[in-house]
Amino acid sequence: MLVGQGIFGQDGFYAGIEMGVLSGRFHYTNEKGYSLSQGCIGNTVGAHFGKRKKGFYFQTGIYRDRPDHPFAEINYETWEPSKSFSAANGIENYRIPLYVGKEFKIYKQLYGGVGLGFNTIIARDIGEVSGFGTVHYDLTQPVLTASGDSTWGALRVDHRVNFGFESVFTLGMRSKGNFDYFLKAGYLAHFQPFSNETITHYSNREVITATRVGQNSMTIGVGLSYRFQSRNRENEPTETIF
């Protein structure tokens, strides 16, 4: 099939921007033996720069990731945790990936891509960076007074620099105007937890402790890339076999 060289037949450099959502995965365990895994939505934004060569691409960039952290909901009678639909602002990371991948044509200007990346993750803050608390009130009392059923947590980052691998999948449209519009999904596997939380649950009967770690995460986002034209291609044929 013959297609315009400016669409699929061209190697060269490109640059662009991306934005989307990031879902961090958090694993909770308390001293009563209960555990719970939960995802929580945050955001990611970044810029990339790369080069295409014979159907392969080599890319780097910088991204700001900020996964939100869910509150720790628990039954104060049984100490069994449950998923929370409320969240607090999480830690802020800066991620520098090195990708290598393969692109392939799907139909006309529609293309797909798969890739593997090695990430360097740099935490903006280190040590104890934030906390959260929930207090339950006894509504039967004339004056609102906090009951013993409450939870307090402290979020800390133990390592300034972390590393990990990432698998990425791309679906996009390549235009004749040197722009690519794409949807990208990625799965990030960290070498070490990206956050640690120490949680204390208080009741009128007992006080227990729990821990929660931020493990791997997923991203889904949209992006825009611009393909730079090489001057030495101006006199080349306008069509080539893809």
Please write the tens of the pLDDT for every residue from 157-179. 888 999 999 999 999 999 888 89
The answer to whether residue 146 is domain-embedded is no
Is the pLDDT at 141 greater than 70, yes or no?
no
The answer to whether residue 30 is domain-embedded is yes
The answer to whether residue 201 is domain-embedded is no
Distance CA 178, CA 60 (A): 19
Q: Is 0.85 topped by the overall pTM?
A: no
Distance CA 152, CA 145 (A): 17
Range with the poorest average pLDDT among 29-43, 129-143, 147-161:
129-143
**pLDDT tens column, 216-225:** 999 999 999 9
Phi-psi region of 158 (alpha: psi -120 to 50; beta: other; left: phi over 0): alpha
What's at 195, amino acid-wise? S
The answer to whether residue 53 is domain-embedded is yes
The answer to whether residue 225 is domain-embedded is yes
Pick the residue with more confidence: 221 or 233?
A: 221
Q: pLDDT band at 236, cuts 50/70/90?
A: very low
Range with the poorest average pLDDT among 70-74, 110-114, 147-151, 176-180:
147-151
Instruction: Calculate the alpha carbon distances from 218 to 44, 166, 237 in Å.
Output: 10, 9, 42
Is the pLDDT at 130 greater than 90, yes or no?
no
Is the pLDDT at 200 greater than 80, yes or no?
yes
Which pLDDT score is estimated for 22? 94
| DSSP assignments along 147-185, one per residue | EEEEEEEEEEE--SEEEEEEEEEEEEEE-TTSEEEEEEE
**Which residue range forms the structural domain that includes residue 119?**
2-127+159-193+214-241
Which pLDDT score is estimated for 126? 80
For position 237, which CATH number holds?
Answer: 2.40.160.20
The answer to whether residue 207 is domain-embedded is no
The answer to whether residue 151 is domain-embedded is no
Q: Which residues contact 124 (CB under 8 A, 6 or more apart)?
A: 91, 92, 93, 94
Which pLDDT score is estimated for 10? 66
Provide the percentage of residues in the chain whose pLDDT is more than 90: 56
Q: pLDDT band at 241, cuts 50/70/90?
A: very low
Distance CA 11, CA 196 (A): 44
Which pLDDT score is estimated for 185? 97
**Cα 67 from chain centroid?**
7
The answer to whether residue 150 is domain-embedded is no
Count up the domains in the chain and report the number.
Answer: 1
Is the pLDDT at 199 greater than 60, yes or no?
yes
